Chain A
């Protein structure tokens, strides 16, 4: 099961990710804030989470915190996609359990796609179905 959860509040970014992932045969679910994301997790367990940081209602850091607290969710790989480029934010996200961090404006979507592939094909932390 190649289920990916996207947590992103900007519609066209979310669309771009969804379209590309679906073209590569992934099963994609979309939520637009932290609260929705946790709700979704209670019902479906994704193999990978693509997580934005700045979102209304509850942000990406909240999601990371919740993931860390739950032993069931701790093992799900998380790739942070954010435009917050400061070293402090990157450090903070990684310390809170993010496995990777992309500054969106600095990487072509191709690289994100390749990284997703890596996680599903078993390099490092495995995206468990």
Chain B
């Protein structure tokens, strides 16, 4: 159980100021980070992309911010988060909240165990000051400081 949001971001789960041309590339990076930090198996990444292709860009949950995820399955090894910050924002096709510069990816082992992590996440992104720190952070250390 993560008591701080930063704890949900395992080692190797953060990438800063990446260059991507398309939202799929951003999700692939986010998925790679989840694999990197031991949270998921590679197949989970495609599931996150398929979710958006099937349901639309509902994952862009606030201006400039996306939270990618797929269902709990045996492709999830543990609950966790990853973050890719983008040098240039990309369009996901969400008219209310595009373009996106912060791409979070979430893995959950079941439908309950990540609730506390999501509450911490909600707390973080509800405050524009935190979001600004994530947008301007130019190193993993700066990002970790902002995540708490």
Partners in one complex: no
Residues of A at the B interface (CB closer than 8 Å) are none
Residues of B near any A CB (own CB < 8 A): none
